[in-house]
Chain A
Amino acid sequence: MNATDPVLAGLAGLAPTDTPDLTDRLFDAWLTADSLLGPVRVASTRDGISFLRTTAEFSEDDFRAAYRRRVGRPLRPTDAVPDGLEAALHGEATAAPRLDLLGLTDFQRDVLAATRTIPAGETRPYAWVAAEVGRPRAVRAAGTVLATNPVPLLIPCHRVVPSATGAGAGIGRYIFGVSAKQRLLAAEGAAIATAPAPEEGPAR
């Protein structure tokens, strides 16, 4: 019988009895927090904030499905608020919570990094962002990256606007809508064009 065979008994004894719990390693966490744009859902990995969307635009199911598509990792709720998150969501310029932006190309990463350097109260044209990442002709592509910003508010894509060429230029599009962009820029005291052009794409 197998039970009396020392080799088989030895093999059975090789099954580890102290399995680590991999749950913390596998699951990212999400919570709801308040922001200048109202409540937002925020997802974090162990290394930083990875995704943010308003509850107005994304139901819980939409949020989780979007995260699954973009990042491919499971989510579970948490009560632990990442350091600096609440301050950043309320516009404190010095708050810089740790981010962990997953599944991005180098270009996307560069565009978001350049955008993060724009100070509150100021704006930059899409063309500035493109030039900043060494791809001055990729203005439209830079705009597309910002339109899918994983962490709006924390990376201030609302501070990127069309090149200022007259009142008709407007403030450009925003992931949560033009009026939200106007509210944010006004709250930060940025000088913005008064005549919005809601359907305009990134400046050329």
Chain B
Amino acid sequence: MSTPTVDEALPASRADPDAERVAAALAADLDDGFAELVRTYQGLVFAVALRTTGHRADAEDLAAEALLRAYRSLADHRATDQGASWLRGLAVRPWLLTIVVNTRRNQVRDAARRPRTDGATLPEEPVPGPSVEERAEHAETTGQLASLLARLPETQRTAVVLRHVTDLPLAEVAEVLGCPVGTAKSHVSRGLARLRTLITDPSGETP
């Protein structure tokens, strides 16, 4: 199984081109700046949410919840003496996606503690393949590759989604996962390798 080449360094062109503008807008006015942040990053946030939840409605809920958490965090930091310098140094994109990933982790953990009775499901890790009903219901958003992706262990799935669905630089993937770049690279590689195995034999690799 060959591993694809992954960029090692972070060329300047790959760095977040919007971070400076959004941080400046947030510094000028929190609410106006937050509107700018939402406009700039909601596509990315939603993409990560959709590919980690697998369901459009859940993804919207997750994206909205994560963005509100981000807002509250911004408000809290702003209220401190170090708020301005914190904001200047903030790498907005990985910071925001870290909140998405953590919010998702909390949702899954809470759901495991108190099982929902409304019939809705939160895929646990590792996730079994979708039921026939789910397959039909979410056909438009969940192709075969997406459902195989959902079967990866959480960290590998997150790494693959960030790196290859949303095209995040490896350095930022590492920041979101809270690990060294080399470790992030290995999560991506292992996730891809597992995905390729699943593609070859979807019935194998028991959850």
Contact = CB atoms under 8 A, between A and B. Distances in A.
A67 to B, nearest CB: 9
B46 A20 contact: yes
A2 B4 contact: yes
Interface string A14-34: 111001111101110000000
Given A19-B42, A23-B35, A8 B4 contact: yes
Interface stretch (A70-78, A91-99, A135-143, A159-167): A70-78
Contact of B31 (A14, A25, A72, A75): A75
A14 B64 contact: no
Contact of A22 (B30, B50, B60, B72): B60
Interface residues of A, number: 25
Given A16-B47, A68-B75, A74-B35, A10 B145 contact: yes
Interface residues of B, number: 37
Given A11-B160, A26-B67, A74-B31, A19 B167 contact: no
**Chain B contact surface mostly:** helix
Contact of B72 (A15, A16, A72): A72
Interface string B1-37: 0001100000000000000000000000011001100
A22 B40 CA distance: 11
A124 interface: no
Interface in B63-111: 63-64, 67-68, 71-72, 75
Interface stretch (B120-128, B129-137, B177-185, B191-199): B191-199
Contact of B141 (A16, A21, A26, A73): A16
A20 B60 contact: yes
Contacts of B167: 12, 15
A116 interface: no
A12 B195 CA distance: 14
Contacts of B146: 14
A26 B66 CA distance: 10
A27 B51 CA distance: 25
Contacts of B43: 16, 19
A14 B152 CA distance: 15
B64 A26 contact: yes
Nearest to A25: B64
B164 A64 contact: no
A199 to B, nearest CB: 31
A98 B4 CA distance: 57
Nearest to B42: A22
Interface of A: 2, 5, 7-8, 10-12, 14-16, 19-23, 25-27, 64, 68, 72-76
21 contacts: A11-B160, A11-B164, A11-B165, A14-B51, A14-B143, A14-B146, A14-B165, A15-B167, A19-B47, A20-B46, A21-B42, A22-B38, A22-B63, A23-B42, A26-B64, A26-B68, A26-B71, A72-B68, A72-B72, A74-B35, A76-B31
The 5 closest A-B pairs by CB, nearest first: A11-B164, A19-B43, A74-B31, A10-B145, A19-B46
Interface of B: 4-5, 30-31, 34-35, 38-39, 42-43, 46-47, 50-51, 60, 63-64, 67-68, 71-72, 75, 141, 143, 145-146, 149, 160-161, 164-167, 192, 195-196, 199
